[in-house]
Amino acid sequence: MIPLSGDLGDTKGVIKENIGSFGTTRGTSTLKRGFAHMLKNGVVMDVTTVEQAQIAEDAGAVAVMVLDKLPSDVRKAGGVARTASIRIIQEIMDSVTIPVMAKCRIGHVYEAMVLQETNVDMIDESEVLTPADENHHIWKWDFTSPFVNGARNLGEALRRIEEGAAMIRTKGEPGTGNVAEAVIHIKNVNTELRRIKSIYDAGDEQDLISVARELKVSYSVVEETASLGRLPVVNFAAGGISTPADAAYLMTLGCDGVFVGSGIFKADDAKERAQAIVLATTFWEDPDKVKEAQKMIDERQSMLGLDTKNLELRMQERGSTA
Amino acid sequence: MSGINIGVLAVQGDVVENIMATKMAIEELGLDGIVTEVKTPEQISDLDGLIIPGGESTVIGTLSLVNGSLKKIKEKIASGMPVFGICAGMIMLSKKAKDRVVGEMDQPLLDFLDVKIERNTFGRQKDSFESEISMDKIGIKKFQGVFIRAPSILEAGKDVEILSKFNEKIIAVKQGNIIGTAFHPELTGDLSLHKYFVNLIKAKH
């Protein structure tokens, strides 16, 4: 079972107040991580309009992520990519019952505060947007709203968790329609998790401390993760997922769910594809059901996609050294 | 008599947490039983009790309709199988649900619990909260309520027993062998509610 307690206890994001005769607490680690637990085995879909958000909800999306442009269009447009228009986020919040997430730039504390005030259910500090601070991510313990962060390896994931991320998504290469990078990164994380679990099981504290130094993260986070043999927060896969089989494959690698970006609404059969990807994510253990899901889509209508070897912009590298 | 067989509906949401909590509850009660993830009608048909966990009710409803689980769950509840619905699970069990902002919804429901539910009644995630509540009627004096984008019950029929209220809002109910809570006991480490449910199944077994 994934633990729900964070390291820091009562931080700035934790708010105590009375409602009637009841004392209440908001913004606790249990509530933030617990929110992510409720998304497990689900599909979070990138959307840019109310219409897309409703298609996503009807298809069985567990949440929507609001962007100004889909990642593949961000890639094409170039320039600076910022958080989505607040008015569109609000319109979408008023038209669907599932959680609504939105992205802010890496390190952009005030974009995140604006999103928190807008009352989005989760903030994604995302490499799809142009980073505002390559050296410092947001200190997420200061927020009452939960955050999700991207990671390509265990060190990145644990540093983000230490900063207060309530959920991790293993990064692929966004906006490419190519799942290859997501696969590599999940396998990287899994390999590293197996390594530290074996160190933990051998009772070698000295080696575990050197892991903490190597990953640039505190010993307690490494120890907790090593004892669990998995990330201490919910972990979704993201980046380049375009088909039901893509989603099902990532689920077999131990992800708790998937984010789908351009893959759905950049395809010509978005509605069927949205439903098909949800089916494949839910019933991933049953190849026959995944086949049925795959049959719902037409490969000729998939987004063309990009070879990730020759990209000018590698979004996944943004903020990864911090 | 063989041990009890409890399932946690594993379509979407916090399944593992409920499996752990139920296993521990069985163990602490010194009973014989198994707890498994269930997804298919075949798996559901063997159960003595079912937990429908938290998650998104629209997703759990839509997908359990697709593979026929919803129909099987209905049959089982109609034949008296105890069921415990948590947050989204309680919404699933209800006869009527609407969203606080969006209003009336056309979502698949099990249509048993005679209540009218308001989804996201306390607001969005930022308004999610923890608070100490009580369920005196079933002997639970103190319980840490973890409310995550939680629903509440606006109206309850005459056969529905109200187990708990938070600031005048109904947050836990019982109707025959059906229990529903707006909050998440599986996230607290407190097993008292899961134990209560296991005892309900045992009494029926």
CATH code for position B71 = 3.40.50.880
State the alpha helices, DSSP H only, in chain B.
15-28, 41-45, 57-66, 69-78, 88-93, 192-204
- Which residues pair with residue A80 across a beta bridge? none
Domains, chain A, ordered by start: 29-297 (3.20.20.70)
Residue A287: count of CB within 10 angstroms of its CB: 12
Is a pLDDT exceeding 80 seen at residue B82? yes
pLDDT in the model for residue B29: 97
Which residues form the domain of B39?
A: 4-204
**Catalytic entry in A12, A32, A103, A289:** A103
ipTM: 0.96
Q: What is the C-alpha to C-alpha distance for residues A178 and B166, in angstroms, rounded to an integer?
A: 48
Is a pLDDT exceeding 80 seen at residue A146? yes
pLDDT in the model for residue B195: 98
- B171-200 pLDDT, tens digit per residue, is 999 999 999 999 999 999 999 999 999 999
Mean pLDDT of B109-115: 96
Is a pLDDT exceeding 80 seen at residue A5? no
Which DSSP state fits B69?
A: H
CA dist list (Å): A113 to A83, A98, A105, B153: 12, 22, 12, 32
* More confident call, A6 vs A37: A37
Can you state the percent helix, strand and coil of chain B, rounding each to 5? Answer: 35, 35, 30
Is a pLDDT exceeding 90 seen at residue A298? no
Q: What is the C-alpha to C-alpha distance for residues B48 and B149, in angstroms, rounded to an integer?
A: 30
* Burial class, A251, CB count within 10 angstroms (exposed 0-12 / middle 13-18 / buried 19+): buried
Return the closest-CA partner of residue A137 out of A120, A153, A124.
A124
Please indicate whether residue B184 is annotated as part of the active site. yes
Is a pLDDT exceeding 70 seen at residue B110? yes
The first and second tokens of residue A60, run together, are: 């069985």
The first and second tokens of residue B181, run together, are: 């809570």
Percentage above 90 pLDDT, chain B: 94
A74-112 b/e (C-beta count within 10 Å ≥ 16 → b): bbeeeeebebbeeebbeebbeebbbbbbbbbbbbbbebb
For residue A282, give the chain B residue with the closest CA. Answer: B11
Distance from CA of B46 to the nearest CA of A (A): 20
Residue A277: count of CB within 10 angstroms of its CB: 31
Q: What is the C-alpha to C-alpha distance for residues B136 and B141, in angstroms, rounded to an integer?
A: 5
For residue B145, give the chain A residue with the closest CA. Answer: A24
Interchain CB distance below 8 Å, B12 and A37: no
Distance from CA of A29 to the nearest CA of B (A): 11
Q: What is the C-alpha to C-alpha distance for residues A250 and A235, in angstroms, rounded to an integer?
A: 11
- A59-117 pLDDT, tens digit per residue, is 999 999 999 988 888 888 888 899 999 999 999 999 999 999 999 999 999 999 999 99
How many structural domains compose chain B? 1
How far from the centroid of its chain's Cα atoms is residue B191's Cα? Answer: 14
Can you state the percent helix, strand and coil of chain A, rounding each to 5? Answer: 45, 15, 40
Q: Are B89 and B131 in contact (CB under 8 A)?
A: no
- A269-286 pLDDT, tens digit per residue, is 999 999 999 999 999 999
The first and second tokens of residue A117, run together, are: 């005030």
The first and second tokens of residue A19, run together, are: 């409602």
pLDDT in the model for residue B7: 98
pLDDT in the model for residue A7: 62
Is a pLDDT exceeding 70 seen at residue B1? no
Interchain CB distance below 8 Å, A35 and B148: yes
**Which residues have C-beta within 8 Å of that of residue A266, sequence separation ≥ 6?**
A70, A72, A177, A303
The first and second tokens of residue B101, run together, are: 């902002």
